[in-house]
Each structure stands twice: as structure tokens, then as C-alpha cells.
Structure 1
Amino acid sequence: MTVTVDTGHRSIGQLFRAQVAKNPEGRAFAGPAPISTTIAGGAIGTTSLTWQETAEQVYALAAGLAELGVGPGDRVAIASGTRIEWILADLAVMCAGGATTTIYPTTEPGDAAFIVADSGSVVLFAEDATQLTKFQGKLDELPDLRAIVTLDALETPEVTDGPEVLSLHELLERGAERLIAEPKLIEQRIDGIGPDDLATLVYTSGTTGRPKGVRLVHANWIWESDAQAGLGIIEETDLQYLWLPMAHVFGKVLLCAQLTIGFESYVDGRVDKIVENLPTVRPTVMAGVPRIYEKVYNRVRTMAQDKGGATWKIFTWALGVGRDVVALREQGKEPSGLLAIKYAVATKLVFSKLQTRFGGRMRGMISGAAPLSREVAEFFHAAGIPIYEGYGLTETTAGSFVNRPGRFRLGTVGLPLGDLEVKIAEDGEILLRGGGVMRGYHHKPEETAAVLTEDGWFHTGDIGELDDGFLRITDRKKDLVKTSGGKYVAPSYIEGLFKTIVPQVSQVIVHTRNYCTMLITLDPDEIRTWAQGAGLESLSVAELSNHPQVRAHVQSGVDQLNGQLNRWESIKGFVILPNDLSVDNGEITPSLKVRRKFVEEKYTKELDALYAG
């Protein structure tokens, strides 16, 4: 077990201040477009910020918040996608002594207004006109809201009734003036923050009912950032590509790690730009969710398969060599002799092409939020871009377990971070106790008591097992289902396996009543490529989903899948949905996790047909 590094800091504000003092001229953040903020004497319209330039903007924003009446413990909400301004606003809230309430930009107006009201947020950062409009129609539900600050430069209305609306630029100007009058204001605010003060309210995106606010204090984030130092996954000289939603703990924990370690982050939350940007940005580390890695793997494999002949033979040979190398590295060994020679050839002919796609400098990546299939993990490890799978929940401040360089085991989520305690309950549920565990759900004492014991053990709701310290996740406790024959089925294992068999598949939901069936969606890019080879290039994705040739192709994959499953797990029927699941339709979360119950309820008619008769 890795011992937590103790940096001696009590809050995120102190972490930030220490990193600025340590490396003022070092590069901190970069982005795809000019930052829409300016301050007197600071960086103007730049695409990158040093730590000192970041501090100047953060302190001015923090003083601006103080001018708006934000005091210690007050909540400030941020409704925005991932961009540098999100980070500046969040750090400003931390340095002003407040607590950030995170809101996904895709959150529908009713839930967004509920989060602002339930949290008692007094100021709201709204990214653009879309977000501003979302809240302006709900102002009567937000009695505590004093001001709305837009991140984009918009025409802000004159203050008449309700909260004041101003731009980020105007907030910076007010803050700069306040700092002239009180130059030590923000330093004093930072000094007054304690480890048990509330830092963040992260509202979980539930599938039913209203979201729940998870209370994370400064001590939670400090524990996380300290526990990540020294793991060797991210180091001071790295350039991180940060695209994850900052409203999610996975994104925020990477920011806290940056404050401790001091690396640089390129910030761009546009998921559709990741593949395009990687060769230009040339990052050395990146974190993501399995779907991102699955798409890359499926694209590379499909391209080799379509070329056929020698290309496909070389690809499969290289993959076999890579698996042998990965098996050795799991034991802490390196290839030698003939295997080393074969691996060098495989790297030159196959794996180097993947490295080029990622910019040519990628040292490693982190995966979380959902299970990563072994086949995908093996491929990336073999290609010299290891994916270190980890595990955590919003309620545990993201990181609880992670594989790491020199100490990894595929198929597991790694070893515990820091001094985290773990035990497996009699029913297989994973219980955790340690510095990352939340302080409870906001305004929900009964729900808090249901998952958090008096002596600090948190019930994760996940089923798993320990193997020499490495944790293997079996499934979500609520998703683990029993067939009418009394046999248990773990849907996530079957779903992940099927995605590697049929790369044209995007999402899979295994559903069980008296036997197992599946809801399937097609990956638009992959199925179009497949359709060209099948002479169906004129058809839309919706038309392809209902085409006999596509169904026969998927059925062939299901037959192959069933050959690897127990009899009671085998898939007896499936439906190919006409469209992929999306965040906008509420079918997947902004962190790309499927809202299983929501999808099953939405397609009840299709599922009923699979069990008819």
C-alpha cells in the first residue's frame, strides 16, 4: 500500500498558492482559443497561462466574488463545459473561501435550477447564452441567487429585478479594484480555510428522482492530490490533455493533482476534437473513459481487418507478440532474446502507428468510470501506451484504486491509493474507509446513513474481490441480476466482451428476466465503414440498424459471444436500436456511463417483445 504524501496543506487554496510560489513562470494551462478574460497588467487574450498569470486572474476573480458578497462557506455554482475559464472560476471560489457547486452544461433546466436552489448557491457562473437562458426562466425558484456571471462575452441586461448579470471581464475588473483597496484580502481568505470546510458539492446524475449533492471538504481533495503524488503516472514534466467534464469528480481530481505535482494541462472539453487535437497538442498523459479507448482500438483493428491479407496477418501477429510482452510486464519483467526482437519488429510495423495517432509522446493514460475490457487494455499496453485502470466514486472523491507503472494487473482496478482501507462484505460488496470518503449527502441525512456507517465505512454498491491487494470489480450490486433458474449474471462483463467482438457496436445493455437479451446501438462511424464493404453505403444508420445483413453480422457476434459464456448467461435475443445513445437524450451521463434503468424503461416495448411467448 502506498502511503499518502503529506504536503502539509489544509485547503485547495493553499495548494494553489504553494504551486504558484514554487514555479511562477512555469506553464500551467493552455487552451484551444484565446481566454475570454483580461486583467490590468496581466495576460490579455492569451492561449496559455503561467502559474503566476493564473494566480493573477484567480485572485482578481476571487476578490470580485467577495465584492458580490461571497463569504466563507457560501456556495457558487458553475454551469459550463470544460475550459480554462471553468478552472479559473473554481480556483477563485476556493480562494475566496466558498464552495463550488458543479452543474453539467447538459443538465436540463428543472434539475439545474434544483441544484442551484438545493445548494443555496449565491452566485452562478453560466458559460454562454444557452446556460444563461436556462436559469433566467427559473429565477423565481432561486431566492438565494444574487448574481450570474457569464464566461462568454454576452450583452448583459441592465439590472432591474432579480440577480445581477455581469460578464467575467466585469467581475475581474471589480476584483482588481477591490485588491487595490485590500491587497491582502485573498491571502487572508486562504489562510482562514480549514480542512473540514466544504469545498465542493457534486450532484450525482441519478437515473430517477432529483440529483443528490455529495459534500466533499478540502481534506478530501488534499488527500486525493497527496495520494497521487509519487505514483509515477503523472509527473511534473508532463503535459496532460484534459477533456473530462470538470463538473465530474474525475476531472476535478486531476486538477487537484496538478496543483500538487505541478504539470501543465491543455484544456479542451470538446469530445469530438480529441482525436483531431492529439497529434497537434502532443500530450504525454491523458485520462478518459473506456468508450474513448474502445473507439480507437476498434478503428485500428477494423482498418487492418478491411485491408486483409498481409496487413491483417501482421496485425494479429503483432497483437500476439504484444500480449506475451504485457504478460511479462505484469510480472515486473521485460522481454529479452527472441521475444524482444519480435516486439521491436511489431512496434515498428504496427504499434508505432498508434503512438503517432496520439502525438508520439504519450507515456500512459488513465481509465475510470466504467470497466475497461482486457482486450483493449492489452492492446494499448502492447503499443507502449499503457492504460492504468482505476476505480472510485463521486462519494470517494474519484480515486480510490489505480494500477500504476511497474505495479499493474489487467482485469483489475489496481491497488488502493494512500492509506485507504478496504474490506469485502459477506455479500461481496466493497466497503471503503479513508481520507477520500465524503462527509455525506447535502440535506439528506437518511440517505447518508444508508451508505455511511458511524465508524466511517462507505458502502460502494459495487461487488468485487481482492487478489493480492489488487481489486477486481465484478459488477454494480444493483445491476447484478439472478435468472429464474437462480443463477447470477454480471451484465458489465458481457457488455464489455461483446464490444470487442463486434467493433461496429457502440453501446450494449444486457437485460435479464428468465433469460438474457440485449439492447444494442451501432457506432455511426464504424457501421458506415462496414457498410461500404457490404455495398450498403447509401443507407443511413437508422436504416442499417434494421437491415438483414447488419442483423446477420451482429448475430454472428452474438454466437461467438455465447461460446464464451455460461449457459445461463447466453444471449437469447437482441434489438438493434435505430440511434446511438446520447447525453442530450438523457440516456448516458456526461461522463459517458449508460443510464441503464432509464434506457430499459424507454425501450420497454422492444424488451417485452424479446420475452413474448
Structure 2
Amino acid sequence: MDLKRLFDLIPYQISKYNKEVALSRKQDGQWITYSSRDLKSIVDSLSLGFLAKGIKSEAKVAIISDNRPEWNFIDLALQQIGAISVPMYPTISSEDYAYIFGHASVKMIFAGDQTIFEKAKEAAKGQEIFTFDKLDGASHWEEVMKLGEDGDLAQLEAEKDKIKSEDLFTIIYTSGTTGRPKGVMLTHHNVLSNLLSVSNIMSPVPGEGKVLSFLPLCHIFERTASFCFMYMGFSIYYAENLEKIGDNLKEVQPHLFNTVPRLLEKVYDKIVAKGYELTGIKKQLFFWALNLGLKYDPAKDMGGWYNTQLKIANKLIFSKWREALGGNIMQINSGASALQPRLARVFWAAGIKVCEGYGLTETSPVVTATLTEAEKVRIGWVGKIVKDVEVKIAQDGEILVKGPNVMQGYYREPEMTADVLKDGWFHTGDIGELDGDFLRITDRKKEMFKTSGGKYIAPQPMENKFKESTLIEQLIVVGDGQKFPAALIVPSYDGLREYCKHKEIPYTTDEEMIARQDIIEKYQREVDSFNKYYGKWEQIKKFKLLSQPWGVDSGELTPTMKLKRKVIHEKFQKEIAEIYA
């Protein structure tokens, strides 16, 4: 079957796999499932319902919800009539909602739950709002579906026939690390080309794989992946929430999931914290296995003695890690920010294939991906350039991308579009290097800064390295125009409690602990231990410990857990000023 539009994936899946479980979500303790044919029936009725509501080609419709099958239903139904979805993060403010509703000229809004509904209602300017949960005083999404249940399918087929591969199907507003969100315009062809480029590097058997999905569908990483999973005939199960991922992994026993490095860091930290709770020989075995794993390189023969030890470690220790992930994991795809090399090493050593990739919303998203064959893995690199995509490095080190996956531009922003799209090449804003088809990211172009001594500092790799400490949860390198680099550090308070317990230091409150001289001295030793990896001009000379973690809700992180540097600099200007006083 010739796939030209993303909604063609529905009949394709029916003809090739006819899944009993295409999509599933847990509700009131039960997994509610939808087959491939259920998906087609619901989506067709919704498309006809939208036409009955006056939603036509090129109309913009917002979707704001956590992951659930209804998200996919609305997305695919809009595609079939040429309407354009505008997905949004549930976690952003009502002010951001209002900006996007206005900028995109949104005609209709779909909100997941009560909290989102209230925020959307506050931001709406007369748009009709439908909810996925049944709420008092709100119209339910099924009302649109019911409007189309007796509609004319021939009319729908005529509407579908009008839609071309090059037509716009979504506008995704980026998370805005540098200011107001920009609306990235993507066509059916952009995303279809990308999912086909990565489909051949998925490990589970087509038609048999199970996936647990928890990254937001409004982010292009999980959105393109979900279309790829449909193409591959995988069953998609949506996690209840981030707190329930562990339980859902054991229930679903998936073969694959996508994640961001921050979540893998948290998994790793929890595992290490449990290791510290062990005693005697069990504790010794745990840290022996862990230290063994931290030296692992999947692409190298580590030698007979090492390999023998690793087999023992896998049987005694790492097998429990795999069980905690459901026991069937064949592949974990990591993206959106840099993965710490130590995490890649230890998870691969444990038989858990963490495949780091690189991409942007503007590239639909995948540019490079790490393959699951051990000999093709390069720790510290973001994988190989995927099929049909071209990459080159500009003279200043910036990564440039060309291919069918590159966006059409930023919605209603011709000047911004011209700044990044030149001669067919998309200018990513990332700095990197190529070795054959392998790519390494070294920093963000706009995040690099210069000290008063004229030395350039690349903060991102440094931040990633310092966070390897079990005592450091979050860190930002500062010092633009100053004599030396410094850092704001949010301690890992779990790690700090373990340290205090080990040293028999009575723990009071977080605020009191980080003010103690002996604790500050401990952090100085931690900083010094990582400074040795950098030139004298790059080393962190001073730091400030902070009592509260940075979060999405408090504004310091984007929804994909990237640092909002400008916000952090503004919020903590007093603390930064004290460092340089």
C-alpha cells in the first residue's frame, strides 16, 4: 500500500496486522483497548463530526492532554479532512495557551482533564472546548464523534482524496528556551519520510512488539514514534502517569519505550540508592557489578576476564534491573537532550540497549540514531545519520541538516524562517563534529559564552559531566563576561542524606544542611574531582548551593527538561551576583 499521508497508516495497519490492541489506556484499574478497526471507525466518525461542526481544511484545532487514545483519535480525524492540529503541553501556563490560541488562530480546543479545561477556558477567546474526561459544564469529545456516526463515508473519502503528501498537518510550538514559542510547520511527507527512515532500526518483531508510551505526544519525538509504531504494527500502551511508570512496565512488559535522559538518570539514581541500603556481601556485589558496568564499551571486546565477570554480574545483579523494566525490553530510545556516557555504558552492560538519538522539532525529528547492534555503538556520540537525511558541519562548527524531514518554516514568522533555512539547509544552532556517518554534539551555539579573558565556555557538556556526581541533581554553568566560570548547584538531597548517614552527620533540613561548612567543603571536593577534566580557564572556581529543585511548573525547565537559561539567570541574579562580588 502506498503511504502518502499519515492517516493512510490506519488502513495500512488493518491490511497488514489487523491488531487486536492498537491503542490501550488504563482506566479505573482496567486496560481499555482499541483494535485497528476500532481506530478506523472512531476516527472516521470524528472526521465527519468535524465537518458537521464546520471545521474545514486548514482550520487549526488545539489538543492539550496527557497521552491517551483520544489524543490519537482527534489527531488522525483532523488529518483526514485537511485540518491542522496544534498540540500543546498540558504543563504550560494559561498565558502561553492564550498566546498560541491567538498566534495560530485556533478554532476549537480539546482538553484532557479538569485542570487543563480550567486553564484553557481562562485563555480561550470564544473557541468551543471539548474534554476527554467527562466533566460538569463541559462538552465531551464523543459529542463530535456521535455527530458523524451516521455521516456519509463517501463524502469523507472525497475529502481525503484532496489531501496531498506536501500538505501541512500540524503546527508544533517549540518549548521556548530562548523566548516566545515558535510554530514549526510540518507536512505529512516530513513525518512520513522520517518514520520510514527509522522503522528499519526498531528491534521488536513487526506486528508483535508492545510499547509503553509516556513522553508527551505533543512533543515531536513521541508523536513521530507513535506513527512509526502504527506502521510497525506495535501495540501502544499509555502509562497512567510518571509516578506509575514502574508499575505499568511490570504490567505491560513492553519491548520498547522512548525516554529523555532525565528519567533514565532518576531510574539510575533510585537503583544506586537501593544499593546503598544493602549490607554485607550483597552491598559489595552490587557495587562490584555497578563499577564493572561503568567501564563497559559495547563496541569493544573487553577481554576474557572482564566478559566472565560481566556474565556473573548480569546473573546476580543486572537481571533484577531488567525485571524492573518488565523483563522484555529490547530497546530504549533516548532523545531531547544529552545522555550521560556513564548511563549508556552501565545500561548496555546490563543488557539494556539504550539508543541515543539526535533531532529537533524542525527535523521531524530524527537526524541520527544509535543502532542496537553493539559493534555499531559509539558511547558519547548520538548515532549514525538516518536514511535520506544529510548532515554537514559549517565552518563555525554548527550542524546543518537537509532532507525530506526538514520543516516548511515557522508559522507567520518569515524572518525567523529565513534565519535558519538557507539554501535548503536547516541551521540547527547545535555545535558538533562528524566522523563518517557518526555525529557528536559538543554544545548549543547560543549557549556558549565568553569570559572576560576572551575564553569560550561550552556549558552543556560540563553540566552533563558534573551531574554524574551522586550529590548533584541539577547544575548550570554561569560566567558570561566574568573572570571565571561558576555554577549554581541543586544538590541531590537523597544522595546528600546517604552521605550524611555514612558520615554520621545528623540531617536536619535541606536549607540548614547546605549552609553547613563541612557540607560546602564536601561539594567543593566533588567540584574539584570533575574540574580535572577541563582546562584551567573552564574550571568551576566558585559555586552556590540552592535549596529548591528547578522544575517545569516553576519555570526553570522546558517540558522536555531542558534548562531555561534566561529564566534561571533572572531568578537567581542575586545568587550569581554574590558569587562574583
Where on the TM-score scale, by shorter chain, does this alignment land: which range?
over 0.9
State the match for 2:435 in structure 1: 467
Compare 230-239 and 73-82 and name the one that shifted more. Answer: 230-239
CA shift, 1:496, in A, is: 1.2
CA shift, 1:31, in A, is: 1.4
What secondary structure, in the 3-state scheme, does the structure 2 residue paired with 1:137 have? helix
| Closer, same or farther: CA 497–138 of 1 in aligned 2, 3 Å | closer
Matched residues in 2 for 1:337 and 1:570: separation? 39
Deviations 1:144-201 (A, max 9, x none): x3x2211110123xxxxxxxx62112222112132xxx03333333332111111110
Matched residues in 2 for 1:319 and 1:536: separation? 26
Deviations 1:549-598 (A, max 9, x none): 44333222112111222211111111111111111111111111111221
Q: Is 2:30 the partner of 1:60?
A: no
State the match for 1:39 in structure 2: none
2:392 alignment partner, one of 409, 419, 423: 423
State the match for 1:148 in structure 2: 129
Matched residues in 2 for 1:235 and 1:504: separation? 41
Q: Is 2:546 the partner of 1:577?
A: yes
| Closer, same or farther: CA 127–534 of 1 in aligned 2, 3 Å | farther
| Closer, same or farther: CA 285–537 of 1 in aligned 2, 3 Å | farther
State the match for 1:433 in structure 2: 402
Q: Is 2:97 the partner of 1:112?
A: yes
Matched residues in 2 for 1:541 and 1:242: separation? 34
State the match for 2:219 in structure 1: 248
Matched residues in 1 for 2:113 and 2:191: separation? 28
Compare 236-245 and 84-93 and name the one that shifted more. Answer: 84-93
| Closer, same or farther: CA 587–341 of 1 in aligned 2, 3 Å | same
Amino acid at match of 1:424: I
Compare 7-16 and 512-521 and name the one that shifted more. Answer: 7-16
Compare 390-399 and 550-559 and name the one that shifted more. Answer: 550-559
State the match for 2:534 in structure 1: 565
CA shift, 1:208, in A, is: 5.0
State the match for 1:204 in structure 2: 174
The answer (yes or no) to whether the contact 1:528–1:537 under 8 Å persists in 2 is no
Deviations 1:19-54 (A, max 9, x none): 12322243211212169xxxxxxxxx9611111122
State the match for 2:332 in structure 1: 365
| Closer, same or farther: CA 319–198 of 1 in aligned 2, 3 Å | same
2:320 alignment partner, one of 353, 357, 364: 353
Amino acid at match of 1:123: M
The 5-angstrom pairing of residues 5-84 of structure 1 reads: 8-33=2-27, 47-84=32-69
The answer (yes or no) to whether the contact 1:81–1:269 under 8 Å persists in 2 is no
Q: Is 2:150 the partner of 1:177?
A: yes
Which ranges of 4 or more aligned residues in structure 1 deviate by more than 6 Å?
A: none
Matched residues in 1 for 2:49 and 2:34: separation? 20
Amino acid at match of 2:14: V
The answer (yes or no) to whether the contact 2:178–2:564 under 8 Å persists in 1 is no
The 5-angstrom pairing of residues 239-278 of structure 1 reads: 239-268=210-239, 270-278=241-249
Aligned residues: 576
Matched residues in 1 for 2:241 and 2:106: separation? 27
State the match for 1:3 in structure 2: none
The answer (yes or no) to whether the contact 2:484–2:540 under 8 Å persists in 1 is yes
CA shift, 1:537, in A, is: 7.1
State the match for 1:162 in structure 2: none
Compare 358-367 and 88-97 and name the one that shifted more. Answer: 88-97
Matched residues in 2 for 1:214 and 1:255: separation? 19
The answer (yes or no) to whether the contact 1:73–1:197 under 8 Å persists in 2 is no
State the match for 1:476 in structure 2: 444
CA shift, 1:312, in A, is: 4.9
Deviations 1:305-364 (A, max 9, x none): 45465445434443454466x43x315x6x775444322111012211211211111112
CA shift, 1:393, in A, is: 0.7
CA shift, 1:511, in A, is: 0.9
1:304 alignment partner, one of 268, 275, 292: 275
Amino acid at match of 2:243: D
| Closer, same or farther: CA 139–291 of 1 in aligned 2, 3 Å | closer
Compare 420-429 and 102-111 and name the one that shifted more. Answer: 102-111
TM-score if structure 1 supplies the norm length? 0.89
State the match for 1:132 in structure 2: 117
2:353 alignment partner, one of 386, 390, 415: 386
Matched residues in 2 for 1:138 and 1:389: separation? 37
CA shift, 1:119, in A, is: 1.1
| Closer, same or farther: CA 347–475 of 1 in aligned 2, 3 Å | same
Amino acid at match of 2:440: R
Matched residues in 1 for 2:535 and 2:203: separation? 37
The answer (yes or no) to whether the contact 2:497–2:507 under 8 Å persists in 1 is no
| Closer, same or farther: CA 101–343 of 1 in aligned 2, 3 Å | same
The answer (yes or no) to whether the contact 1:78–1:126 under 8 Å persists in 2 is yes
CA shift, 1:528, in A, is: 4.5
Amino acid at match of 2:414: P
Matched residues in 1 for 2:411 and 2:506: separation? 52
Compare 19-28 and 348-357 and name the one that shifted more. Answer: 19-28
Matched residues in 2 for 1:578 and 1:337: separation? 47
The answer (yes or no) to whether the contact 1:527–1:541 under 8 Å persists in 2 is no
Matched residues in 1 for 2:5 and 2:230: separation? 11
The answer (yes or no) to whether the contact 1:10–1:193 under 8 Å persists in 2 is no
What secondary structure, in the 3-state scheme, does the structure 2 residue paired with 1:554 have? helix
Deviations 1:507-564 (A, max 9, x none): 1111123211111113454445555545567634444443444433322211211122
Q: Is 2:559 the partner of 1:586?
A: no
The answer (yes or no) to whether the contact 2:170–2:187 under 8 Å persists in 1 is yes
State the match for 2:417 in structure 1: 448
Deviations 1:433-472 (A, max 9, x none): 001110000000000000001x210000000001232100
What secondary structure, in the 3-state scheme, does the structure 1 residue paired with 2:488 have? strand
Amino acid at match of 1:279: K
CA shift, 1:112, in A, is: 0.5
Matched residues in 1 for 2:548 and 2:93: separation? 21
| Closer, same or farther: CA 289–537 of 1 in aligned 2, 3 Å | farther
Matched residues in 2 for 1:96 and 1:430: separation? 36
What secondary structure, in the 3-state scheme, does the structure 2 residue paired with 1:19 have? helix
Matched residues in 1 for 2:224 and 2:512: separation? 42
State the match for 1:458 in structure 2: 426
State the match for 2:478 in structure 1: 511
State the match for 1:99 in structure 2: 84
What secondary structure, in the 3-state scheme, does the structure 1 residue paired with 2:76 have? helix
Amino acid at match of 2:76: L
* Aligned-pair Cα RMSD in Å: 2.3
The answer (yes or no) to whether the contact 2:190–2:404 under 8 Å persists in 1 is yes
Amino acid at match of 1:114: Y
Amino acid at match of 1:214: V
Amino acid at match of 2:175: S
Compare 309-318 and 417-426 and name the one that shifted more. Answer: 309-318
The answer (yes or no) to whether the contact 2:25–2:240 under 8 Å persists in 1 is no
Structure 1 vs Structure 2: percent identity of aligned residues?
35
The answer (yes or no) to whether the contact 1:543–1:578 under 8 Å persists in 2 is no
State the match for 2:198 in structure 1: 228
| Closer, same or farther: CA 445–544 of 1 in aligned 2, 3 Å | same
Matched residues in 1 for 2:334 and 2:357: separation? 6
| Closer, same or farther: CA 536–185 of 1 in aligned 2, 3 Å | farther
TM-score if structure 2 supplies the norm length? 0.94
What secondary structure, in the 3-state scheme, does the structure 1 residue paired with 2:87 have? strand
Q: Is 2:186 the partner of 1:216?
A: yes
State the match for 1:168 in structure 2: 141
Matched residues in 2 for 1:557 and 1:535: separation? 19
Matched residues in 2 for 1:234 and 1:544: separation? 48
Matched residues in 1 for 2:274 and 2:123: separation? 49
Structure 1: gaps of 5 or more residues: 1-6, 36-44, 157-164
| Closer, same or farther: CA 20–386 of 1 in aligned 2, 3 Å | same
Matched residues in 2 for 1:534 and 1:321: separation? 25
